[in-house]
Amino acid sequence: MIEYKEYIIRLFFENTCWNSDNLYSFLCESSKNILDFHVSKGLSFNISSSPSENFASSYCLSLSPDLNGSIGYIVSSFPLYGSKNSHTIPINKISEVYHQVQEFKDLKKCWNQTFNSRRKDYLFYGRMYFPELLLEGLYARKISPTKQFILSYFNNPEKSDGISLTAQFQHNTSKWSTEYTYSTDDAMFGFRGLWNFGEVPKRVSINEKQNDDSASLSNNGQLSIGTEVYYGIFHKIGGLSTALRFTTLPSYIKNPLTMTLTLNPVMGHISAAYSIKAGNDFSLSSRFNFNIFSYESTLDLGFELWRRSQLPESSLSQIPLSSDLAVPLNPRTSIIKLSTGSRKNIRILWEWRYKGLLCSFGAIFDLNSHLSILKSFGFEFQCFS
């Protein structure tokens, strides 16, 4: 379950017509959400509120294994429209789930239809952790419909060089994107690029039948090729990676799927992942990792399963139709996730809503351990208003 501040930042990008699917850093999001999902440790509480469309605050408290907490605030120049109440927010909006890549959009056209062409919105985020007094901050600025600047800040007062700054300039169009990054840690420079291939398919209504050509993967899929290069001046350490992604678009009427292939020639690491939404409430993912230098390999498997509420038939007429089925679907109330692999590690996560409280329980098991197979577990409770 993502934090409230992460959800608000996503709302800002969504409301300002920014498509994160077109960035290299989100290339393997579907498989990571199913296989590498976050599991809380100990017992933690998160109370957040949004008294206005331009302001939000969050208060976190962790009681175990250590007593600590944090206070965070978010200010935005643009109204953050969207559900921000834990009573009504869809669980799939705050959970790490299989991600459906959206179709290409003309960002300039979307922007001009919604905003003033000269508008340059911004978002401020600040957070302090107790008792360490660690300070975290973020500043995001829209420069144009296709360009934005992000500056992140982290300060650890216990270290003499505890200040860390990371600046990002992102240029995102409907067909390609580039990211330029500089970090004060090791004076590191980085570049990321992503290029998409394929045409935007024509949308077909539910009652309209697709022919064999229009329903094929080639006509309803998107191929993306990306690369990342970075270099640290102080320690003279560099890196290179490249990746491929093929994913179906929302116009594909069969089971959505995503395939990725990543290669790091410096480390000799190759990773291939396959994720599919096998049903409306069930998704699967598998990933194979191999190192060409050490010949070590790992295999990871995982799934996510949704549960829906049981409503009387009289209430079904008020539920909107799903995008791919001509039948009404009850709202989702909980999700169960499990992932395991050849290293004999098992991750389990259960997220659900109890009235106006968002709850999460997770555990990590290590079957190789000789002391205790239970490595860690945790409960997390969040309340938004």
The answer to whether 49 touches 38, Cβ cutoff 8 Å, is no
243 vs 236: CA distance, rounded Å: 24
What ranges do the domains of the chain cover?
A: 4-384
Range 4-384: architecture per CATH: Beta Barrel (2.40)
What DSSP string runs through 199-244? PPPPP--TTSPP-TTTTSTTTSEEEEEEEEEEEETTTTEEEEEEEE
Give tens-digit pLDDT for 54-105. Answer: 999 999 999 988 899 999 999 999 888 877 788 888 888 889 999 888 877 6
pLDDT of res. 212: 54
The answer to whether 28 touches 34, Cβ cutoff 8 Å, is no
What DSSP string runs through 265-326? TTTTEEEEEEEEEEETTEEEEEEEEEETTT--EEEEEEEEEEEE----HHHHTTSPBPSS-S
Residue 208 scores a pLDDT above 60: no
The answer to whether 382 touches 48, Cβ cutoff 8 Å, is yes
What DSSP string runs through 135-160? EEEEEEEEEETTEEEEEEEEE-TTST
Between residues 85 and 300, the one the model is more confident about: 300
Find the mean pLDDT for residues 196-204.
65
Neighbours of 214 (CB within 10 A): 16
* pTM for the predicted model, two decimal places: 0.87
Residue 325 scores a pLDDT above 50: no
Q: What is the CA radius of gyration of the chain?
A: 22
pLDDT band at 109 (very low <50, low <70, confident <90, very high): low
Phi and psi torsions of 9, nearest 5°: -65, -40
pLDDT of res. 332: 84
Phi and psi torsions of 251, nearest 5°: -75, -15
The answer to whether 335 touches 353, Cβ cutoff 8 Å, is no
pLDDT band at 250 (very low <50, low <70, confident <90, very high): confident
C-alpha closest to that of 102 among 232, 208, 297, 250: 250
pLDDT of res. 97: 92
